[in-house]
Amino acid sequence: KNQVEQSPQSLIILEGKNCTLQCNYTVSPFSNLRWYKQDTGRGPVSLTIMTFSENTKSNGRYTATLDADTKQSSLHITASQLSDSASYICVVSARDNDMRFGAGTRLTVKP
Amino acid sequence: DAGVIQSPRHEVTEMGQEVTLRCKPISGHNSLFWYRQTMMRGLELLIYFNNNVPIDDSGMPEDRFSAKMPNASFSTLKIQPSEPRDSAVYFCASSPSGVGGETQYFGPGTRLLVL
């Protein structure tokens, strides 16, 4: 079983709407959690990185939350734009660069 | 800054051939990572270097894969002999010091197809 589970697998929303992507993990011990955005045909781009002591972190219209007790994270996208269409990957590290990868959520924003 | 540079961008080869992928990290970055991405398995870390020294190669699939970093500005990932199941997109990434929790900057990837 993957130690990092993302949901939903795919999501379609209308431009301007908000959405929330989920990441549940069983990785232990926990060092940090990253959210990446990956456009089709391109490399992933880091959105946020959170350590154990951080509950929330924002990057523009992207806000990530972390509940280390329940081992859950979410990525909230506000006022979605067509350019938000991409795959969003959650990566959890047990220590330093010992990383576990989620399968990603494919988001499509339609006009 | 040009970002992480990878070459070639696309590679098509026949089974059994040697494949060499190249990466130039961002200048001044001390850590370099090689990843593989497929539809079936998603993103996987193959190996990473810190100050040109391989730190963790536990993700390297088998002996057919090897990686080197002869200097701070260049790394190669070699597959010999290649097999169809090696078909994937291979990404190189770099980070300033490799400390956990640090942003990694990815290159555009090399799309490899082994026939």
Predicted confidence (pLDDT) per residue in B10-69, tens digit: 999 999 999 999 999 999 999 999 999 998 889 999 999 999 999 988 889 889 999 999
Dihedral sign from CA coordinates of A45, A98, A10, A73 = negative
Question: Cβ separation of B43 and A98 shorter than 8 Å?
Answer: no
Alpha carbon of B16: minimum distance to chain A alpha carbons (Å): 26
Task: Please work out, in degrees rounded to the nearest 5, the angle formed at the alpha carbon of residue B9 by the alpha carbons of B4 and B14.
Answer: 135
Counting residues of chain A whose pLDDT is more than 70, the rounded percentage is: 96
**Cβ-Cβ contacts under 8 Å, A99 against chain B:** 45
- Residues in Cβ contact with A35 at an 8 Å cutoff, skipping those fewer than 6 apart: A23, A46, A47, A48, A62, A64, A73, A75, A88, A89, A90, A91
Question: Cβ separation of B108 and A103 shorter than 8 Å?
Answer: no
* pLDDT tens for each residue of A53-109: 899 999 999 999 999 999 999 999 999 999 999 999 999 988 767 889 999 999 999
- What's chain B's length in residues? 115
- Give the per-residue pLDDT at A95: 75
Question: Cβ separation of A96 and B108 shorter than 8 Å?
Answer: no
Interstrand relation of A10-14 and A105-110 (parallel, antiparallel or unpaired):
parallel
By the 10 Å C-beta count (0-12 exposed, 13-18 middle, 19+ buried), A102 is classed as buried
* pLDDT tens for each residue of A2-54: 699 999 999 999 999 999 999 999 988 888 999 999 999 999 999 999 998 89
Asked if pLDDT for residue B81 goes beyond 90, the answer is: yes
**Cβ-Cβ contacts under 8 Å, A102 against chain B:** 42
- Give a three-class secondary structure readout of chain A: CCCEEEECCEEEEECCCCEEEEEEECCCCCCEEEEEEECCCCCCEEEEEEECCCCEEEECCEEEEEECCCCEEEEEECCCCHHHCEEEEEEEECCCCCEEECCCEEEEEEC
Size of interface A-B (CB pairs under 8 A): 51
Alpha carbon of B83: minimum distance to chain A alpha carbons (Å): 22
Mean residue pLDDT of chain A comes to 94
Cis check: omega of the bond before B81, within 30 degrees of 0: yes
Alpha carbon of B81: minimum distance to chain A alpha carbons (Å): 26
- Of the candidates A46, A89, A95, the beta carbon closest to that of B43 is on A89
Alpha carbon of B59: minimum distance to chain A alpha carbons (Å): 10
Question: Cβ separation of A95 and B100 shorter than 8 Å?
Answer: yes
Q: Which residue of B has its CA nearest to A39?
A: B108
